[in-house]
Amino acid sequence: MNENEAIKEFSKLALKNNHIPQKYYDKYAVKQGLRNSNGTGVLVGLTDIGSVQGYSMNKGKKIPKEGKLYYRGIDIEKIVEGFQVENRGGYEETAFLLLFGRLPNKRELEEFNELLDQCRYLPDGFTENMILKIPSKDIMNKLQRSVLVLYSHDYNPDSITIDNVLRQSIQLMARFPTIISYGYQAKAHYFNKDSLFIHSPKSRIGTAQNILHMIRSDNKYTKTEAEALDLCLVIHAEHGGGNNSTFATHVVSSSGTDTYSTMAAAIGSLKGPKHGGANLKVLRMIENIKENVPNLKDRGQLKDYLLKILKGEVFNKEGLIYGMGHAVYTISDPRAKLLKKKAHKLALEKNKMEEYNLYSSIESLSKELFKELKGHDFEICANVDLYSGFIYEMLNIPADLYTPLFACARIAGWCAHRIEQIVSDQKIMRPAYMSVKENSSYVSLYDRSTI
Ligand SMILES: CC(=O)SCCNC(=O)CCNC(=O)[C@H](O)C(C)(C)COP(=O)(O)OP(=O)(O)OC[C@H]1O[C@@H](n2cnc3c(N)ncnc32)[C@H](O)[C@@H]1OP(=O)(O)O
Ligand SMILES: O=C([O-])CC(=O)C(=O)O
């Protein structure tokens, strides 16, 4: 047998012998997806960092409500309004708030910004040896591997004292934008044959501005573009302890391991298409819809196609409408509302209203379809990933960077949760898996059946 044939054969065996029938999950009341039978999440921790509110409870039943998100007790909508009114960016103060538990005063914010600026550079030789010599087609993969290599450049990688973890956290927060920007340049050059340029990070401009500065050949960006990207970073920075990548951060941190291993695990989780990777899937889904729906303004045609997506007949045949649905939010995701507003503003400026209307129709038609399929009480909403990619597209940011940008923002939340876990809860996470396999005897190699 050649390699392919062998893998095909062994796959059949793997498929056959790894199937646990649903009846066992029901019999032992397993909380699949760590979800209670009423759809709420199983309570596994406490946090002061982020609060995600999507329903209220009445007699054990979920009652849908408009979504709310709080960072350290402050409504995200108020945070956004606060820095927008003052006509400045908000990502750095948001990261400060998440890490340290309160908003910074002017001096503290300046010091924090200076610290980030000092840490944006990569270690000597890192860009050449780690990024350019071994480029990756996937920038999340590049980011993950770079984080693991940074362990080797750290003079004290394993200590989990808070000052050490904080130093590592701030360094990583500052370096993520540099890594993804250079990782993208390497990909564009070695795989797409584009010209190669590496721009050094710049001080006193901010995180969003640095990203635009490093990914554009002419370093140029407008204030509107920087504001839009900064808003995306603020909105993606944190989402409670239960989202998949932050929960991974908690699980891995609880073993006492180092910051680099933990962040690499979180990046791996975020890359998944049901989590942060959904922003890229939304783009692919929109491309597919554009190719297959003759008249995009015809709501009937669009709805029919969305139904086919849900039935798993078209697109990637997985049956998911990406950018829709959420484990907590029901009627609305406050972040999607903020991003939709920003997308509308940009679309008007950039003459992209037809495309904006397509996204908006997908949102409203999906809601209609889910009600028709699952009952009038079923509430589903656009999540943060529906409009984010569209905003990036209008900023001319390449699709390769959509999910890495999410990581650049969410690292603030991950680090805050890691510190909270280390300070407040030192118990190693170790839930139970019940074996449903009957015991059997070891059979000598010579006595085993050959079929
Ligand atoms: C940053 C983020 O992570 S935001 C989420 C990004 N992910 C996506 O956009 C991918 C598409 N969405 C989804 O896959 C889901 O909505 C998730 C993974 C986000 C949440 O899933 P769940 O927690 O299982 O949602 P929930 O329990 O409310 O789902 C109820 C039902 O609706 C289905 N459903 C939910 N969203 C979708 C969707 N977008 N497309 C098709 N079916 C969906 C679920 O499969 C489930 O069906 P079932 O009752 O037959 O099992
Ligand atoms: O909370 C979740 O499950 C997913 C999510 O929206 C996020 O992490 O931003």
**329 C-alpha to ligand 2 centroid (Å):** 9
Task: Check whether residue 238 and residue 382 sit in a common domain.
Answer: no
CA of 254 to the centre of ligand 2 (A): 21
Which residue owns the Cα nearest ligand 2 atom 1?
243
Question: What is the model's pLDDT at position 1?
Answer: 85
Whether the CB of 327 sits within 6 Å of ligand 2:
yes
Number of separate domains in the chain: 2
Looking at the domain assignment, is residue 189 inside a domain?
yes
CA of 402 to the centre of ligand 2 (A): 16
Q: What is the pLDDT of residue 216?
A: 97
For residue 262, the enclosing domain spans: 89-272+400-424
Distance CA 339, CA 230 (A): 12
Kindly state the average pLDDT of the residues 98-115: 98
Does residue 47 belong to any structural domain of this protein?
Answer: no
Res. 219: pLDDT tops 60: yes
Assign 346 to helix, strand or coil. helix
pLDDT at 69 over 70: yes
Cα→Cα distances 409→57, 62, 207, 423, 433, Å: 31, 30, 9, 23, 34
Average pLDDT, integer, range 403-422: 98
Report which protein residue has its CA nearest ligand 2's atom 5. Answer: 243
Which helix (H) or strand (E) covers residue 298, if one does? none
Ligand 2 neighbourhood includes 239 CB (under 6 angstroms): yes
Q: Please list, in sequence order, all residues whose beta carbon lies within 8 angstroms of the beta carbon of residue 71, skipping any fewer than 6 positions away.
A: 49, 50, 79, 94, 97, 98, 237, 238
Residues 416, 361, single domain; the answer is: no
What pTM was estimated for this model as a whole? 0.97
Residue 53 in any domain: the answer is: no
The CATH number covering residue 240 comes to 1.10.580.10
- Give the mean model confidence (pLDDT) for residues 41-63: 96
**Do 390 and 286 lie in a common domain?**
yes
What does the pLDDT average to over 440-450? 91
- Asked whether residue 324 falls in the same domain as residue 195, the answer is no
State pLDDT tens for residues 178-210.
Answer: 999 999 999 999 999 999 999 999 999 999 999
| Strand order across the beta sheet in which 61-71 lies | 50-58, 61-71, 74-75
Written as six digits, the tokens of 38 are 């009423």
CB atoms within 10 A of CB 380: 20
450: confidence class by pLDDT, cuts 50, 70, 90? low
| pLDDT, average across residues 28-51 | 96
Report if residue 94 sits inside a domain: yes
Nearest ligand to residue 245 Cα: 2
Identify the nearest ligand to the CA of 323 by its number.
1
- Give pLDDT tens digits for 283-297: 999 999 999 999 999
Same domain assignment for residues 259 and 326: no
Kindly tell me if the per-residue pLDDT of 451 is higher than 70. no
Whether 23 maps to a domain, the answer reads: no
Phi, psi of 314 (to 5 degrees): -135, -175
pLDDT score at 449: 85
Asked if 320 and 263 sit in the same domain, the reply is no
Ligand in closest contact with the CA of 381: 1
Q: Would you please indicate which residues are annotated as catalytic (active-site) residues? A: 326, 385
Range with the lowest mean pLDDT among 25-29, 155-159, 284-288, 376-380? 376-380
Verify that 307 and 330 share a domain, yes or no. Answer: yes
Ligand 1 within 6 A of CB of 179: no
* Domain harbouring 333, CATH code: 1.10.230.10
For residue 21, pLDDT beyond 70: yes
pLDDT at 343 over 70: yes
**What angle, rounded to 10 degrees, do the helices at 91-100 and 207-215 form?**
130
Residue 260 reports pLDDT greater than 60? yes
Do residues 288 and 268 share a domain?
A: no
